[in-house]
Structure 1
Amino acid sequence: MRDLSNDTSLLSLNAATVRKQWNLAEIIDGCARHRIGGIAPWRDQVAECGLNEAARRVRDAGLKVTGLCRGGMFPAADRAGLLANIEDNKRAIDEAATLGAECLVLVVGGLPEGSRDLDLARAQVFDGIGAVTEYARSCQMPLAIEPLHPMYAADRACVNTTAQALDLCDRLGDGVGVALDAYHVWWDPDVKTQIARAGRNGQLLAWHVCDWLVPTKDLLLDRGMPGDGVIDLKKLRGWVEDAGYTGSCEVEIFSQDTWWKQDPDDVLKTCIVRHQTVV
């Protein structure tokens, strides 16, 4: 595995990690100040800052944009909703291209409103991504499907395993891969095999880390800092790097009761230490 012990260039900060304390301009400045190599902003943060201004600030700070969060949310209850979601994803592709992002992360969406038909939702996800892949290719913007833990199947993502995500990639073709988040895939008994599969096919586009706390107080907003939970992050990183991944390691933490209440400079310092010693 790569030696991360004295290297912050391979660390990326998902901007959600300190979103409650800082706006995007402050997060960019913080990453530059702490010599963190990359950043992954969210679309609402970019919109608040202004797309061109955000792109300028990122360039001036010398940061890689390891991903834009997020596209996706394809399923809808009617055709008008489906078409609106497709158009929104095209806008997200444009934003990611302007920022120079390495990929657009897709959180694909769950059940349409009022529906219990999971097969329909998954079919709409395939159709929705298929409707934007050619546009993404024309913009040279890779699409990274992020499988989410099954607890989110109803409301956030009906793609829940790495195998499901890679099956979609195989059907959709070039320019579509996966963003793997330790929080969502660590439990899967097949994940090692699927990580290797992604590597063989050049589909491993992004790698996100945080930790699973025991107990977890909130399934969305109580993620742990690496090292504070039960995930064997070094083992997972070994599998990811054995599969040929050479990109950044992105720390992404939603933590309403802990890290969102800390001094953001201290949060970044902790991210660096944990990246160097735990991840």
Structure 2
Amino acid sequence: MGRLTVNRPVVKITLDGEVPGERRRSDALAVEEPLEIRVGGHALTITMRTPGHDVELAAGFLVSEGVIARGEQFRSAIHCGGPGTGGPAAGTPENTYNVLDIALAPGVSLPEASLTRNFYTTSSCGLCGKASIDAVETVSTYDVATDAAILPAADLLAMPDRLRAEQAVFGKTGGLHAAALFDAASGELLVAREDVGRHNAVDKVIGWAVLADRLPLRGTVLQVSGRASFELAQKAVMAGIPILSAVSAPSSLAVELAEASGLTLAGFVRGTSMNLYARADRVLRR
């Protein structure tokens, strides 16, 4: 696993006194490096991520994009060297582990070459509106609308603080997003992951479930540390997660997707209040 943080010199300036203060010190920064994901030796996408849990990241990404839907479809993964990655193939002794090649189980179709990074689900592609929602509903293997999960509002309100307690690297750098998966019935924290990309953090959580062969993630809550975008709502639906909770605002398209798919979407989950944008019936008022 690569470095999670690096130290860099900074000049800190303060203006809280009559005479401005200045001092030099070391500051911890969250590492951001590219990860090229390959399937069967063919390049699929490159994402900027915080190194660590790369196999989970790739597995979750494949679920989010509809390539796989169950743990048994994911066979293995191996880090490999290549141009710009370090390692023997690049003529250097060090491998920076920024290329990951995935092997799918026999019989699982490889992604079409035409889909390379031009995925229908990714908000950065500029797709929006009904076409994107219809695409998610068509491809998703799981129907979250039929999930019987319920939980008390107090349990949901406690989840952001419980997630924050798991953010060790954020505590050092202040520069990472995070996502966690909770069991709705018991409130148990199942897994938490950090990353510079909010979508990567969610993919790592889903990928953990893939490797543990726990899909679909029925009866669970996905808690995220920031806003709820269409992309995060889409990832929840694709993994069979019935409840998505965010400490900040959802986007309009995330709400539309939640309404169309039967996903419970909670935003501004902070302190003693929250906003419920879709399927509010899953949250008990006590």
> Greater helix share, 1 or 2?
1
Higher-Rg structure is 2
Instruction: Tell me the TM-score normalised to structure 1 length.
Output: 0.31
Instruction: Tell me the TM-score normalised to structure 2 length.
Output: 0.30
